[in-house]
Structure 1
Amino acid sequence: MAPILDINKLYKNYGATEILKDINISIEPGDFLVLVGPSGCGKSTLLNCIAGLEEITDGTLAIGGKDMTHVSPKDRDIAMVFQSYALYPTMSVAKNITFGMKVRGVDQATQEAKLNDVASLLQIEPLLNRRPSQLSGGQRQRVAMGRALVRDPKLFLFDEPLSNLDAKLRVEMRTEIKKLHQTLDASIVYVTHDQIEAMTLATKIVVLKGGIVQQIGSPAEIYNNPANLFVADFMGSPAMNLIPAQVTKNGSGTQIVISRDAGETLVLNDARDLALPEDVILGLRPEDIAEAGFRAGDGVQEAACMVDMVEPAGADTYVVSELGGKQVTARLHAETSAQAGKMLNLAFDMSKVSYFAKETGERLN
């Protein structure tokens, strides 16, 4: 079966300025692809290239096995959901949803059948006679999604659809979109700057920076094995701890030395026999640093650390210490006895450590 979307060596320039550089992405039918990255990284431009709203400078783009590089947007068999909803203010919800079908000459019976199916799926039946001005932000976004769903396209494109909603509604709508994908097995490309959205929604994530793909993989691959320091720092909340360290061999294992205040050092042993340079950046997720006694295993190393800050966060408590000249966050249990200004024994799970090159930032293990 052909990929539902196949992008090969895509470039996008505005004059002499390169916006997208050598983009290569392929997804299978039913995939939920999320393009994520900071503002200005090129993710919305890439989505517009897929939609045909932007002409690509070089490369090819196929949808459903057909070359769409120079095909107009109306002939690409796509449906797009925008950040701004883009609803017709003078039309009812029902007419907003069916307007595209009416323009394409779809018969009335089919329009009504699809409208009823989508209204039921999105639970907006009571809203069909209202105008957009009478709807909440979440309801408007459901209508915008309904208008896309009745198209039954090969590919759905979502351009930051939740960014205008408040935090609670974002979580609710995120859940609805996830359910929708599971129910319809739809193929989706979704743009967001929110890495939590990316992690919770995607089957595949593309991390972009400066118009260049940094990493492509499943949420678990991106989170557990970031390709470089940028991905490690960008994906995760709180971000991965990134600590300068020195490496020495210790028998068949690896000894990691981290500087502390007043010329002291923290020495941790990694049982893995790794070929590493002398200077590295050690990466460890906050949840892989626990309070001593709450984490066991062959790779766990304990050390006393000075607590600089304690941040209760409901089910978890974040404890911040300084190691290697960096603020290091540990995610502890809610009932921890940690206090700012006092020492606390922490357990570092060295089996979960990622190592990065100090100069290039590339992953080493």
Structure 2
Amino acid sequence: MAPILEIRNLYKNYGATEILKDINIAIEPGDFLVLVGPSGCGKSTLLNCIAGLEPISGGTVTIDGRDMTNVSPKDRDIAMVFQSYALYPTMSVARNITFGMKVRGVDAATQAAKLKHVASLLQIEQLLDRRPGQLSGGQRQRVAMGRALVRDPKLFLFDEPLSNLDAKLRVEMRTEIKKLHQTLGATMVYVTHDQIEAMTLATQIVVMKGGVIQQMGSPAEIYNRPANLFVADFMGSPAMNLIPVRTRRNGEGTLIEISRADGEPIVLRDRKAPDLPSEVILGLRPEDIAEAGFRAGEDVQEATCLVDMVEPAGADTYVVSQLGGRQVTARLHAETRARAGAPLALAFDMSKVSYFAPDSGKRLN
């Protein structure tokens, strides 16, 4: 299947400052691509380059097989939903949604049919006569999405559309956008700094830092096999534990030595580890560290750690210990008897371990 969006060797400079560096992305029709990264990483600039709102300094942007690099935004067959909603305050909801069609010369019957369909899809039929000032934030966002949906474009582009909403409404709107994507089968490119939003919505994720793509892959690939230390630390809540360790081979695999301030080093065995340098960064998700007795298997290694902090979180309890000079978080069951200042036997699932080079940060396994 030919890509619906293909970006090749894209660069964006402001004067002598490089904002985007050699960006290469290809997605298929129906994909939900999320561009994620910290503020200033270039994700919104990249979205604007796709939309044609920013001229690029090098490379090409192709949409549905057509080179759109120098084509104006109105001719790219795209629709954008902005963080600010950008609704006309003096127009009704219905007129806000249909205004673009009217400008393009779409006949009244088609406008009415599309308005009816989109209003039903977004469950805003009862709001059509109101003005934006009479709507909540979530309702305004639905109207902004409705205005984009009536265009039936090749690409939907979303620029942090939920960032102005409160936490509960963000979750609700995230679900609505996910359902919308499943219903329409449309191709969407979505910018966010919220890695939970990225993991929840995406079929493909691009993680960015400093204008450079750090990794592109499915949510499972990004989460389970981060390409480097930045991705490992950025994607996941709580973040992956990243612990400096020493390694040495023996007849039964690789011994992993983790220093601790309260006693002798912890030594864990990894039977399947590749050849590793003597000093590496070990990565392990909080859910892959359990209380001893709650996880079993040939790859599970147990060790006793001193608990620094206990953080109840409803269905889970997070337990923090100091290992390798770092805070290490274990995601335990709600009924754990862990207590701050007391020792606790923990089980480390070594089949889920990632290893990273301390100098380059690159994944080693």
- Indicate whether the TM-score tops 0.5: yes
Deviation of residue 251 (structure 1)? 1.1
Three-state SS of the structure 2 residue aligned to 1:264 is: strand
Residue 279 (structure 1) aligns with: 279
Three-state SS of the structure 2 residue aligned to 1:102 is: helix
Amino acid at match of 1:269: R
Deviation of residue 344 (structure 1)? 0.4
Residue 170 (structure 2) aligns with: 170
**Structure 2 spans left out of the alignment, 5+ residues:** none
1:25 aligns with 2:47: no
Residue 132 (structure 1) aligns with: 132
1:116 aligns with 2:121: no
Residue 325 (structure 1) aligns with: 325
Deviation of residue 263 (structure 1)? 5.8
Three-state SS of the structure 1 residue aligned to 2:47 is: helix
Count of aligned pairs between the two proteins? 365
- The separation in 1 between residues aligned to 2:361 and 2:16, in whole angstroms, is 28
Residue 297 (structure 1) aligns with: 297
- The separation in 2 between residues aligned to 1:85 and 1:262, in whole angstroms, is 54
Deviation of residue 262 (structure 1)? 5.0
Residue 313 (structure 1) aligns with: 313
Instruction: Work out whether residues 252 and 273 of structure 1, in 8 Å CA contact, stay in contact via their aligned partners in 2.
Output: no
| Cα offsets for 1:126-185 (capped at 9, x unmatched) | 000000000000000000000000000000000000000000000000000000000000
Amino acid at match of 1:87: L
Deviation of residue 264 (structure 1)? 1.8
Amino acid at match of 2:138: G
Deviation of residue 253 (structure 1)? 1.0
Residue 71 (structure 1) aligns with: 71
Three-state SS of the structure 2 residue aligned to 1:3 is: coil
Instruction: Work out whether residues 299 and 351 of structure 1, in 8 Å CA contact, stay in contact via their aligned partners in 2.
Output: yes
Residue 12 (structure 1) aligns with: 12
- The separation in 1 between residues aligned to 2:173 and 2:262, in whole angstroms, is 50
Residue 260 (structure 2) aligns with: 260
Residues 33-48 of structure 1 correspond to what in structure 2 (within 5 A)? 33-48=33-48
Amino acid at match of 2:22: D
TM-score normalised by the chain length of structure 2: 0.99
Three-state SS of the structure 1 residue aligned to 2:294 is: coil
- The separation in 1 between residues aligned to 2:117 and 2:261, in whole angstroms, is 64
| Cα offsets for 1:160-218 (capped at 9, x unmatched) | 00000000000000000000000000100000000000000000000000000000000
Runs of at least 4 residues off by over 3 Å: none
1:85 aligns with 2:67: no
Deviation of residue 341 (structure 1)? 0.3
| Cα offsets for 1:100-120 (capped at 9, x unmatched) | 000000000000000000000
Residue 209 (structure 1) aligns with: 209
Amino acid at match of 1:251: G
Residues 227-238 of structure 1 correspond to what in structure 2 (within 5 A)? 227-238=227-238
Residue 95 (structure 1) aligns with: 95
Instruction: Work out whether residues 93 and 127 of structure 2, in 8 Å CA contact, stay in contact via their aligned partners in 1.
Output: yes
Instruction: Work out whether residues 287 and 330 of structure 1, in 8 Å CA contact, stay in contact via their aligned partners in 2.
Output: yes
Instruction: Work out whether residues 262 and 306 of structure 2, in 8 Å CA contact, stay in contact via their aligned partners in 1.
Output: no
Deviation of residue 303 (structure 1)? 0.6
- The separation in 2 between residues aligned to 1:195 and 1:256, in whole angstroms, is 30
Instruction: Work out whether residues 6 and 25 of structure 1, in 8 Å CA contact, stay in contact via their aligned partners in 2.
Output: yes
Amino acid at match of 2:293: G
Deviation of residue 252 (structure 1)? 4.3
- The separation in 1 between residues aligned to 2:89 and 2:305, in whole angstroms, is 59
1:358 aligns with 2:358: yes
Instruction: Work out whether residues 96 and 147 of structure 1, in 8 Å CA contact, stay in contact via their aligned partners in 2.
Output: yes
Residue 152 (structure 1) aligns with: 152
Amino acid at match of 2:195: Q
- The separation in 2 between residues aligned to 1:250 and 1:110, in whole angstroms, is 73
Deviation of residue 272 (structure 1)? 0.5
Instruction: Work out whether residues 31 and 186 of structure 1, in 8 Å CA contact, stay in contact via their aligned partners in 2.
Output: yes
Instruction: Work out whether residues 248 and 255 of structure 1, in 8 Å CA contact, stay in contact via their aligned partners in 2.
Output: yes
- The separation in 2 between residues aligned to 1:254 and 1:330, in whole angstroms, is 23
Residues 158-197 of structure 1 correspond to what in structure 2 (within 5 A)? 158-197=158-197
Amino acid at match of 2:36: V
- The separation in 2 between residues aligned to 1:273 and 1:99, in whole angstroms, is 60
Percent identity of paired positions between Structure 1 and Structure 2: 82
| Cα offsets for 1:37-57 (capped at 9, x unmatched) | 000000000000000000000
- The separation in 1 between residues aligned to 2:104 and 2:254, in whole angstroms, is 66
Q: Which moved more, 1:142-151 or 1:258-267?
A: 258-267
Instruction: Work out whether residues 252 and 272 of structure 1, in 8 Å CA contact, stay in contact via their aligned partners in 2.
Output: no
Instruction: Work out whether residues 233 and 240 of structure 1, in 8 Å CA contact, stay in contact via their aligned partners in 2.
Output: yes
| Cα offsets for 1:40-82 (capped at 9, x unmatched) | 0000000000000000000001001100000000000000000
Residue 105 (structure 2) aligns with: 105
Instruction: Work out whether residues 266 and 303 of structure 1, in 8 Å CA contact, stay in contact via their aligned partners in 2.
Output: yes
Amino acid at match of 2:239: A
Three-state SS of the structure 2 residue aligned to 1:91 is: coil
Deviation of residue 297 (structure 1)? 1.1
C-alpha root-mean-square deviation of aligned residues, in Å? 0.6
